[in-house]
Amino acid sequence: MTRAPGELWRSTVGRKALVALSGLVLWVWVILHVFGNLTLFSGAAAADGYAEALQRAPAALWAVRAGLAVAAAVHVVAVASLARVARAARPRHESRAAREPGALAARSMRVGGVALLGFIVYHLLHLTLGVAHPGFRPGHVYDNVVLGLRPTWVAAVYLGAAALLGLHLFHGLWAAIRSLGLRPGVAGRRRRPAVALLSGAIAAGFAAIPLAVLAGWLR
């Protein structure tokens, strides 16, 4: 079954499938980013060399960036559109308790998602463009990260984002499985701890960097 994206967009089921598929693309990218970040533990030469190697393949780098931007835009716009539909369908004075089960989880995903989006904007200004980083030097990824995360409040922002991302990935993957009609069943539900472990490992991988800077292991 192949359907044009336009056709998928027209139904709420199709838009849920687009949220799920774009979410899966973002999942894969986040795993790659954690592995990229771990080069920081091998020192400045390894981390700066890794970033430089990416710059030496500009076509591939920009293709990945474009794919990432499209996936993120589809994800956010489809979620916003589904939220509008859900709001319009809800009786005006419905109590919180009477709302559909899962409505609270969906709402927390949206609130968490908006917070993550805010973090990503700050993060790009901080470590990619350097405009929110007083000591930023282009190409010096290791120094930019270590100096940039030294203030406790900045490290706390990154730690909060890592925790939020772990929760978002965990709940998002289950929602995606349901949206794509892949009923998890009993066998699938038994894999929940494995999904929790993977999401937790990604969160821990991101959190390791600010923690190592605060502890003075990365300096």
Interacting residues toward ligand HEM by CB under 6 A = 30, 33, 37, 51, 65, 116, 120, 123-124, 127-128, 141, 145, 158, 161, 165, 206, 209-210
Cβ of residue 148: shortest distance to ligand HEM, in angstroms? 8
Q: In 10 A of CB 97, how many CB atoms?
A: 5
Question: In the 8-state DSSP scheme, what is residue 42?
Answer: G
- In the complex, least distance from residue 37 CB atom to ligand HEM, rounded to whole angstroms: 5
- Report the alpha-carbon distance of residue 188 to residue 176 in Å, rounded: 13
Nearer to ligand HEM among residue 127 and residue 132 (C-beta): 127
Q: Which residues contact 142 (CB under 8 A, 6 or more apart)?
A: 40, 43, 44, 47, 48
> What is the closest distance, in whole angstroms, from the C-beta atom of residue 83 to ligand HEM in the complex?
20
Retrieve residue 120's tokens. Answer: 């990503």
CB nearer ligand HEM, residue 2 or residue 55: 55
Q: What is the DSSP letter of 90?
A: S
- Residue that is written with structure tokens 């009786």 in the block: 91
Residue nearer to ligand HEM on the CB measure, 17 or 209: 209
Shortest spacing between CB 30 and ligand HEM, in angstroms: 6
